[in-house]
């Protein structure tokens, strides 16, 4: 998110107020609020701890990630219709779902490379959500698009290095 915000500002977008950086104590409070009440705890036990394991028994890691990503994106649909949810204001629904698909691939990569650690996925999810609080790239007109493009680049690199089957580097025999 920090890089997305930087690119958006360098492209001419006005810099939104960086409230969290001016009040760093709020970041610690926000971390715990986001982790326990903002989605990561219940979502990660469901998406990675339950659904992903079962899907990977039938499909490769990328197909499983895409399925989880689409469902995960649809899960957030109500937030587009609730006032005060600024993170969704400048993002089209299709773009958000596409973003959750690419993020889901990143989550699967982390999950599979930590031997199925829910804690690793939970911390990654919390830090991802917290980064929106610290670096409000979505408050700019192009921040969401830049974020998706950066996620696509990272996912492509991961797929090239780790492969789509398990998203885990092959170990030498």
Query: Residues 87, 118: contact at Cβ < 8 Å?
Result: no
Could you state, in order of their start, the residue ranges of all structural domains in the chain? 33-162
Residue 118 C-alpha from the chain's centroid: 15
Residue that is written with structure tokens 């997305």 in the block: 4
Q: How far apart are alpha carbons 122 and 124 in whole angstroms? A: 5
Q: Which residues contact 145 (CB under 8 A, 6 or more apart)?
A: 95
pLDDT in tens, 104-140: 999 999 999 999 999 999 999 999 999 999 999 988 9
- Cα Dmax for the chain: 55
pLDDT in tens, 84-101: 776 777 678 888 899 999
Global pTM?
0.90
Query: Nearest CA to 135 among 55, 22, 53?
Result: 22
Count the neighbouring beta carbons within 10 Å of the beta carbon of residue 58. Answer: 9
Count the neighbouring beta carbons within 10 Å of the beta carbon of residue 67. Answer: 17
pLDDT in tens, 45-97: 999 999 999 999 999 999 999 999 999 999 999 988 888 776 777 678 888 89
Query: Nearest CA to 64 among 27, 105, 17?
Result: 105
Q: What tokens does 80 get?
A: 């587009």
Q: How far apart are alpha carbons 2 and 43 in whole angstroms? A: 24
């Amino acid at each position: 998110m920090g890089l997305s915000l930087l690119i958006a500002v360098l492209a001419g977008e006005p810099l939104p107020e960086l409230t969290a950086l001016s009040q760093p104590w709020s970041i610690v409070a926000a971390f715990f609020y986001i982790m326990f009440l903002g989605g990561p705890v219940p979502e990660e036990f469901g998406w990675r701890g339950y659904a992903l394991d079962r899907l990977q028994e039938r499909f490769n890691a990328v197909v499983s990630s895409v399925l989880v990503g689409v469902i995960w994106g649809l899960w957030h649909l109500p937030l587009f219709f609730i006032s005060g949810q600024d993170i969704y204001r400048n993002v089209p629904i299709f773009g958000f779902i596409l973003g959750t698909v690419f993020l889901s691939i990143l989550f699967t990569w982390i999950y599979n490379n930590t031997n199925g650690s829910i804690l690793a996925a939970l911390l990654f999810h919390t830090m991802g959500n917290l980064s929106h609080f610290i670096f409000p790239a979505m408050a700019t007109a192009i921040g969401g698009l830049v974020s998706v493009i950066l996620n696509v680049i990272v996912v492509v690199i991961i797929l090239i290095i780790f492969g789509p089957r398990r998203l885990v580097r092959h170990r030498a025999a």
